[in-house]
Amino acid sequence: MTVLLVALGAAVGAPLRYAVAMSLDGRVRFPAGTLLVNVVGSGLFGTFAALALGDAGWALLGAGFCGAFTSFSSFAVQTVERSGRAATAYVVATTVLATVACALGWTIGTHWGGVG
Amino acid sequence: MSARALRGTDLLLVAAGGALGAALRVVVDAAAPDTLVPWPTLAINVVGAFLLGLLPALAAVRRSRRVALAIGPGLLGGFTTVSAWVGQVRDLADTGHADLAGLYLALTLAAGLGAAALGQHIAHAPEPRGALE
């Protein structure tokens, strides 16, 4: 049951990531779409974690939707396809912004009456 | 990846691959013993990054754009995750393990980027330079 809910959430998150990446990654030299998806998905993940959704809700929204909306493999390959300063900037931007977004999401979630 | 019109079938292929990849991720996670450092997620991200780098070497992927979509942004995109990674970093830091949080963050980056580079190197090795660009 849990695995099915994860698959269901991912079936929405993964194509949404693909759509955003297709729309934004090609326009600028920087993979802005994947960066955006990874930052927004990490922020939502933090919020959902703080809200203590229960097993089913977490499987659908946290592990499923956010897990598949964000992608480490794309981030890693996009990084090694770049060189020097561009690669470093992409790694720093993704890591710092995703971590900050997650912490911010968690704070917002706890203020909404979660596990805080 | 260039900006072009999104096709419904493409989105469905990514959705199907992503659903399978995410299900695999939670199955691996559930099968592994519960540890302070989330080794399963680390392994998932490193293996997924390696395979995505290696992907152009697969004959089926080179022949079919649809297979490439289902496996790349689909299966491997859904299998690997940035949100759980940074969520675990936040969790470790918040529960008094700031040192482990930093170590886990750095280890995932180093191993994941190294794995992606290795996969790409293997995929591109037998080809004349630029053949797959």
Cβ-defined contact of B19 to A38 (cutoff 8 Å): no
A64, B31, B33, B70, B95 from A55: Cα distances, Å: 12, 17, 19, 28, 21
Task: Please say whether the beta carbons of A66 and A48 come within 8 A.
Answer: yes
C-alpha to C-alpha distance for A79 and A112, rounded to whole angstroms: 36
Q: What is the pLDDT of residues B89-126, one digit of tens each?
A: 999 999 999 999 999 999 999 999 999 999 999 998 76
CB-CB neighbors (< 8 A) of B6 in chain A: 19, 22-23
Please state the pTM of the whole predicted model.
0.93
B47 has a chain A CB within 8 A of its CB: no
Task: Please say whether the beta carbons of A62 and A49 come within 8 A.
Answer: yes
How many contacts, defined by CB atoms under 8 Å, are there between A and B?
Answer: 194
Task: Please say whether the beta carbons of A76 and B52 come within 8 A.
Answer: yes
DSSP state of A29: S
Structure confidence at residue B125 (pLDDT):
79
Cβ-defined contact of B12 to A21 (cutoff 8 Å): no
* Average of per-residue pLDDT values in chain B: 92
A15 has a chain B CB within 8 A of its CB: yes
A109 has a chain B CB within 8 A of its CB: no
pLDDT band at B3 (very low <50, low <70, confident <90, very high): very low
C-alpha to C-alpha distance for B19 and A31, rounded to whole angstroms: 23
C-alpha to C-alpha distance for A111 and B106, rounded to whole angstroms: 30
Helices (H) and strands (E) in chain B, counts: 7, 0
Cβ-defined contact of B19 to A94 (cutoff 8 Å): no
Structure confidence at residue B130 (pLDDT):
58
Query: How far is the alpha carbon of A113 from chain B, nearest alpha carbon, in Å?
Result: 18
Cβ-defined contact of A102 to B87 (cutoff 8 Å): yes
C-alpha to C-alpha distance for A41 and B87, rounded to whole angstroms: 10
CB-CB neighbors (< 8 A) of B110 in chain A: none
C-alpha to C-alpha distance for A70 and A95, rounded to whole angstroms: 12
Residue B54 has pLDDT above 90, yes or no: yes
A103 has a chain B CB within 8 A of its CB: yes
Structure confidence at residue A15 (pLDDT):
98
Structure confidence at residue B2 (pLDDT):
45
Strands (DSSP E) contained in A44-114 are none
